[in-house]
Amino acid sequence: MFKSKKQRSSIPIEDCDRVSSLPDSIICHILSFLPTKDTVATSILSERWKPLWLSVLTLDFTDHSFFSEIATICSQMHSVMLSRDNTLPIRSFRFKYCVTYDQPNDIIQLIIAAIQRRTETLELNMLFKSLDMKLASNIFTCRTLTVLKLKHLSILRDIPQINNTTSLLKTLHLDCVNFNTHKRIVDFLLSFPILEELQTNKVKVIRFRKFVPKTADEIKIKCLPNLVTAKLSDNKPIPLFLLSKARSLSIKLVSKILFHFTKQFTV
């Protein structure tokens, strides 16, 4: 039964605001699903809510207008980063680049600062900007990063030479990502030696030449040994020999025909 207006007005305020009575950890978990600007805005609700956003372990800077000024975006990100406790980890960091001119160094430094705070999940939507090499080095060497999702990004430069044993990445999603050559795709994927899940959509090679091993090191390349699941929107850009250990391989062809292959696991 619906309560009348008079009945509703007689309900104590504390009974109406049951969310505020939840433990901090649960409220922070709820806030983690919101864009960061909305999370910060909850601080005006009451004294109870004022400090909570500072303990949210997810930073989401994807809710930008296409016409947002880069100075405004940098200022917002910088203010949030400075307000938080430096020792508090950033479990998940999501960022969408929404301006058409070149990315300023300030943006890259802020993303790197987030990665260095024990980030486990990183999602970047970069409007087909070229992957900055400083940013790439931090991604490849991060000892906590386990999930990486890249969208609208170009990887046109040489992949930094790193010690592959440092990467703990297990999940990689590439959506509308451009590479210069097939070899660059190979180098990029092999930067994550314990990768377990790979998803690609509209991955393109600008200079379309198949990867042909030439050096002794390249000939030794076999596959991603720990790969469990691979889902590709088109098999042409991704060298399939890298995926030979996958237990489940799905390829969605350009003709919209779905090919599904499942390899039986043997001990």
SS3 assignment for 82-108:
HHCCCCCCCCEEEEECCCCCCCCHHHH
Q: Report how many domains make up the chain.
A: 1
Confidence at 264, pLDDT banded by 50, 70, 90 = very low
Range of the domain at 72: 56-262
Q: In this structure, is residue 10 part of a structural domain?
A: no
Predicted pLDDT of residue 267: 36
Beta strands in the chain (DSSP E): 58-61, 92-96, 121-130, 147-155, 171-179, 197-201, 204-205, 229-232, 248-252, 258-262
The more confident residue out of 252 and 242 is 242
Q: In this structure, is residue 38 part of a structural domain?
A: no
Q: In this structure, is residue 28 part of a structural domain?
A: no
The answer, yes or no, to whether residue 211 has pLDDT greater than 80, is no
Q: In this structure, is residue 20 part of a structural domain?
A: no
Q: In this structure, is residue 168 part of a structural domain?
A: yes
What percentage of the chain has pLDDT greater than the value 90?
A: 35
CB 252 within 8 A of CB 236: no
Q: In this structure, is residue 30 part of a structural domain?
A: no
Q: In this structure, is residue 113 part of a structural domain?
A: yes
Q: In this structure, is residue 19 part of a structural domain?
A: no
CATH code at 258? 3.80.10
